[in-house]
Each structure stands twice: as C-alpha cells, then as structure tokens.
Amino acid sequence: MKTKYMLSECVKFNAPTFTFDFNNNGEEDIISLSGSLKSSEVYGNTYFFQYEFNDNVPSSTRSAFIHALKFDQSQLGASNVDNFIETAISNLSTVIISIDKKLS
C-alpha cells in the first residue's frame, strides 16, 4: 500500500506554461491546495472539492488550465497531474471513511 501525505502544493502560470510546485505556495499561484476539503450542496447533492483557483486568476487562465487537465495532460506532465489528483482523492477518502463511521 502506498502512503500518501498532505502536500502544500500550488500551480503557477508562466505564460504559456503551467508550473507545479509541490513544496511551496506563493502569491503568484493560480491554485493552492486548500487546508481541507470544502463542500457545497446543490439541489440536495453534496459536492466536495479540494482545489480552488485564487481570486485574482483571470477566467482565460482558469479555462486554459482546466482544458489542459481534461484534454491535454501532456502539456502539464503526467507525473504532475497524477500527484495533483492523488492528493485530492486521498483527502476525499479520509472524509468518506469519516462519514461511513458516523453512519455505522
């Protein structure tokens, strides 16, 4: 079993590329790892999310990152994408286990 650790990570946009930093957060980051999962309830469904774009990030940069993540991961680097996603999934697993224990 692979051990996963909470990372203090971020994504920077240095036009035209995105740079992942898995050790530091900074003011110029477009995405920082939030301290905990956030949830939002919409029409009776609860949605959990780990990452948020920082408030000062323009919509064009947000769209470019989401497009690269969904359709052109080679632009971001496969290992970067794996680490980015694995951290969020690991944190979600913790919440699911906690909810399951409360329901038991």
pLDDT by residue (tens digit) across 9-22?
578 787 778 888 87
pLDDT by residue (tens digit) across 55-74?
889 999 999 998 988 898 88
Are β-strands 29-42 and 17-21 bridged in parallel, bridged antiparallel, or unpaired? unpaired
**Under 8 Å CB-to-CB from 37, ≥6 apart: which residues?**
48, 49, 50, 91, 92, 95
Max mean pLDDT range (7-11, 22-26, 29-33, 38-42): 38-42
Nearest partner of 36 among 90, 102, 85, 103, judged by Cα: 90
Residue 7: per-residue pLDDT: 38
Residue 1: per-residue pLDDT: 43
Widest CA span in the chain: 50
The structure's pTM equals: 0.68
